[in-house]
Amino acid sequence: MPVPEKLLPAQLFNRCDPGEFAFSTTADLDGSTEIAGQERALDAIRLGMGIRRDGFNLFALGPSGTGKETTVLQFLNAIAPKEARPDDWCYVYNFDKPRSPKALRLPPGQACRLSDDMDHLVETLFGVMPAAFSSEEYQSREKEIGEALQEKQSSAIESIEHDAQEHEITLIRTPGGFAFAPIHEGKVIAPDVYMQMKQEERDKIEKETNRLRDSLQSIMAQFPKWQRETADKIKELNREVSAFALKPLMDEIRARYKEVEEVLRYLDEVEHDMIENFGQFLEKETPEEGPFMMMPPQFSPAGRKRSAVRYRVNVMIDNSKLDGAPVILEDKPATQNLVGDIEHAAQMGTLITDFTLIKPGALHRANGGYLILDARRLLLEPFAWEALKKALRTRQIRIESLAQLYSLVSTISLEPEPVPLDLKVVLLGERRLYYLLSTYDPDFNELFKIAADFENDMKRNAETHLAYARLVGSIAARDKLLPFERDAVARIIEHGSRMAGDATRLSSNLQAIRDLAHEAEYHAAQNKRTQVSADDVEAMLEAQRYRAARIQERMRDAMMRGTILIDTSSEQVGQINGLSVYSLGEESFGTPSRITARVRLGKGEVIDIEREVEMGGPIHSKGVMILSGFLGSRYAAEQPLSLSATLVFEQSYGGIEGDSASSTELYALLSAISGIPIRQWLAVTGSVNQHGQVQAIGGVNEKIEGFFDLCRERGLDGRHGVLIPASNVKHLMLRKDIVRAVEEGLFSIWPVTHIDEGIEILTGVPAGTPDASGAWPEGTVNEKVYGRLKAMAEKQKSFGKKPDGEPEK
């Protein structure tokens, strides 16, 4: 198998030509941002927002920083102005059930108007009502009703007096009531004289007195009835007067809301209550009983009577200034911020509330439009996820006080009437969170039927180059940064490919691009430049690498001092330099690791020491097990595989995962079996399958750079290099110093497709290709491996025979 050619410098870095841009600086762009590379997600957003049916809410999933929020907002802000404005909502007092405030729906902009009208009405009544009840007409009619009662009572008493006088008896008024006494010639008969009268005369007087007393009691029994009738007449008069004063004001308000039936019914209830309770507008300091009629002074406007609080209008949603449907982004989706809250106020040591202390939530503000929530933050808030699901499932917003619901306070609370809900909810979150909810929450798939999956990266072409340029331009315009030269934009695009880990694609991590733009602009401003150049971008990229390089430099220093044993100059049997990647937070770096292999007689086992001590992950263990399959199928198809091999990452004190070292381990194993040394000035990465094909791995740029940095510090001599899978060539976006070293012949990179290509480069010995009979050419690596394994199989077989040559039973 021929040895592959070394990669050319042009293959190590996909350059972006600034000449492809028509602009000189980003100041020449219009500042708009194009959504590129997210067609799949945009189609899902368009579908989810277009279907007006229950459950067709949206979950936008993808890594953080990919522009999910920006894309969704940009889309919604484009369609929302074309939609109708939703209605206003307010809460008013429920005169029938004070603990259940009513929710009123009004046309956009009418809720605040109704609130102002009611406030003005109450203020007006505090002047109109006293004037109406202090008028001469009212005083005269009230006096007439009172005098009529007195006249009726006096007439009845006079009739009794007249009747008594006809029978020579007089009616006497005393502090204790009325009494009857006999008279003679106009004078009351003295008791001693009365006792000297004849019995017949006394009986006659007694009889008449009893009759008169019964008549008086009959009349007196009617007095309460007459008083009630008089009170009713006074009350009717008061209703008439208060209605006369109130009706013109109410008719004026009704005329403004004649097309809103709910408001007209509410105004009828208000009018009836005001007429029945007109006295509250007469006495300025009249206290009102009941917790729903009271309001703490700090919540009361100056001059407003607490008794009139029930006539106020609590405006929950005012859409008067809204242009189309609302688009609400709720940054803190706590339960009370979502569905609203019922606040309480302390008054004289007691917590009280009323309908004016009901506060709206994000669902109220977004009702009739769109609500955007961060899924992780939502799930972190107690009860918020369940509250959102309940609202979407029932299609109504029911405000419940959490303190009352969970008995955290002992006080009277409210049960406001639910508000009908009609909106689209968009959740933003990681893919893992989406799949967890989809698997473990039975309600999730019913409520969020559409998933908008955002790409981690996008194709790299002229269109996405321009989209990146527009993105940088919009960042500069929005954040008031210096303009970026086109070569600076080209360098940012190249870094976008590096972040994507693919020379043919660009990262969708817009947050990282924004951060880099800010840092580069800061560097340009510090150097008194008026534009951001490619040098500023490059300086900040170097600064980013430097800030994250502490651990990497410590490890390389340990290698330079011999604490960590890495050989880059000699040749060794069963020893090879593998390449690993360490990920710390957002940063990753590569470093070489020594891998060794040892073989002996055995039962065909390849022992992974990392797995045996539980320091190797399952994927790494799988890669090692594949080696047994390769060795058995290639070298021991017709004979036992009679070796026992051990593989280990030397000086590894942490866990190892991934199969990117499986080809490296196979090279070490082949060297240990054949006895052919491996060139230690080369390093290897790549996974392998049972057919010996080398497969792509991740982090190829970081791995190459980690080995290059060690070799450079020890001194490049033209021999150093790295073997990578040929399928990883398209992922190369290496640093400029590595490209320069390759140009100067100081460093080499070989693309490998098969294990035979790699072993030939590593040993300098041909791998060998079997002939028609299956025999390997003499002196090749494969021939030496086969011969050693055959000898081990024969030796293993010899241990099972008796001295006379007969096999043991």
| Whether 571 contacts 680, CB under 8 Å | yes
| DSSP result, 548-580 | T-HHHHHHHHHHHTTSS---SSSEETTEEEEEE
- Closest C-alpha to 578, from 498, 650, 512: 650
Give the CA-trace dihedral at 716, 719, 724, 728, to 10 degrees.
60
| Residues across the chain | 809
70 Cα distance to chain centroid: 14
Our CA angle for 576, 581, 585, nearest 5°, is 160
Just list the catalytic residues.
660, 703
Secondary structure of residue 177 in the 3-state scheme? strand
Report how far residue 417's alpha carbon sits from residue 398's, in angstroms, rounded to the nearest whole number. Answer: 7
Report how far residue 29's alpha carbon sits from residue 785's, in angstroms, rounded to the nearest whole number. Answer: 64
- CB neighbour class for 519 (10 Å; exposed up to 12, middle 13-18, buried from 19): middle
251 Cα distance to chain centroid: 48
Cα–Cα distances (Å) from 267 to 143, 255, 264, 568, 763, in that order, read 33, 11, 5, 91, 96
- Closest C-alpha to 433, from 374, 507, 384, 363: 374
Report how far residue 455's alpha carbon sits from residue 405's, in angstroms, rounded to the nearest whole number. Answer: 43
Place of tokens 């497709």: 753
| Whether 799 contacts 602, CB under 8 Å | no
Residues 6+ apart with CB under 8 A from 334: 381, 384
User: Cα-flanking dihedrals φ and ψ of residue 199, to 5°?
Assistant: -60, -40
- Closest C-alpha to 81, from 321, 317, 322: 322
Place of tokens 């009908």: 420
* Token pair belonging to 670: 């082949």
* Token pair belonging to 281: 């507008």
Give, to the nearest 10 degrees, the angle between helix 700-714 and helix 736-743. Answer: 60
| DSSP result, 595-635 | EEEEEEESSSEEEEHHHHTT-B-HHHHHHHHHHHHHHHHHH
Residues 6+ apart with CB under 8 A from 203: none
